[in-house]
């Protein structure tokens, strides 16, 4: 089977807030073809480029990246992308911080939602800290879910712990998955794949407000 044909049938992904490429590595191992990475930090971009030689990078502020330019860089049209991935900065939600609604880093979620609306990927995946659904920040989570649903998606979030997915670390994160309405698919989250290592404790999945 020609290699070019194999490359064409791989599901595609664009990674926003790509960092050094943690999510990109996961998608690569899962058989995805990454069309574009979006990251503004100089050191992160330098590291990313060393690890993913064949992935183009938009090195700049995501707020300045229009959907049209994003699609041009990735070589796609609206609706063609399989997955838009992103982990907007979480410091404003983290329980380790001051947890202020007006933290300017919280607004970067809106840039992710904007690209979801403009690119219309079949699916999006967004990750954030569990502080997003705790205490006073639950309202921010509900606003985020409504915003993503208003983009034309069925969106659902769950708290997952990495220790149930072959990771030797108890690390809980909110994972929001959205499927475009026309696909008529209800988004779902994975079930545990492994038992936690000795000494770990915690809940695999916790229901959060919809």
Cross-strand bridge partners of residue 161? 172
User: What are the start-end ranges of the H helices in the chain?
Assistant: 3-9, 22-29, 42-51, 67-74, 108-119, 138-150
The mean of the pLDDT values for the chain is 85
Cross-strand bridge partners of residue 154? 179
Phi, psi of 125 (to 5 degrees): -130, 125
Strand (E) positions, the chain? 12-16, 33-39, 57-59, 83-86, 123-129, 153-161, 172-180, 205-206
pLDDT for res 202? 52
Q: CA 140 to CA 132: how far, in whole Å? A: 7
If one compares 62 and 139, the residue with the highest pLDDT of the two is 62
| pLDDT of 100 strictly over 70 | no
Distances in Å between the Cα of 203 and the Cα atoms of 127, 180, 190, 193, 195 are 18, 29, 14, 14, 12
Give per-residue pLDDT as tens, 144-163: 999 999 999 999 999 999 89
Rounded to a whole number of angstroms, the distance between the first and last alpha carbons of the chain is 45
| pLDDT of 190 strictly over 70 | yes
Give per-residue pLDDT as tens, 109-134: 999 999 999 999 999 999 987 777 66
Global pTM value: 0.83
81 and 12 Cβ atoms separated by less than 8 Å:
yes
| pLDDT of 209 strictly over 70 | no
Annotated catalytic, 201?
no
| pLDDT of 99 strictly over 70 | no
Give per-residue pLDDT as tens, 19-65: 999 999 999 999 999 999 999 999 999 999 999 999 999 999 999 99
159 and 205 Cβ atoms separated by less than 8 Å:
yes
CA angle 117, 74, 84 (to 5 degrees): 40
- Which of 90, 136, 151, 201 is an active site residue? 90
pLDDT for res 171? 86
% pLDDT > 70, the chain: 79
Considering the domain delimited by 11-206, tell me its CATH architecture. 3-Layer(aba) Sandwich (3.40)
If one compares 8 and 95, the residue with the highest pLDDT of the two is 8
Q: CA 92 to CA 102: how far, in whole Å? A: 8
| pLDDT of 203 strictly over 60 | no
């Amino acid at each position: 089977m020609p290699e070019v044909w194999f490359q064409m049938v791989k599901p595609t992904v664009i990674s926003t807030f790509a960092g050094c490429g943690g999510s990109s590595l996961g998608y690569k191992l899962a058989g995805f073809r990454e069309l574009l990475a979006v990251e503004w930090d100089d050191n992160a971009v330098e590291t990313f480029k060393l690890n993913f030689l064949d992935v183009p990078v938009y090195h700049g502020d995501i707020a300045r990246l229009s959907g049209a330019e994003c699609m041009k860089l990735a070589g796609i049209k609206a609706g063609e992308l399989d997955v838009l991935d992103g982990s907007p900065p979480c410091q404003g939600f983290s329980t380790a911080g001051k947890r202020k609604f007006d933290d300017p880093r919280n607004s970067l979620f809106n840039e992710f939602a904007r690209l979801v609306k403009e690119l219309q990927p079949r699916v999006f995946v967004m990750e954030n800290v569990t502080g997003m659904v705790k205490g006073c920040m639950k309202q921010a989570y509900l606003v985020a879910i409504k915003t993503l649903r208003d983009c034309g998606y069925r969106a659902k979030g769950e708290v997952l712990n990495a220790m149930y997915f072959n990771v030797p670390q108890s690390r809980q994160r909110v994972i929001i998955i959205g499927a475009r309405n026309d696909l008529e698919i209800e988004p779902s989250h994975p079930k545990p794949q492994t038992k936690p290592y000795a000494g770990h404790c915690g809940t695999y999945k916790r229901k959060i407000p919809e």
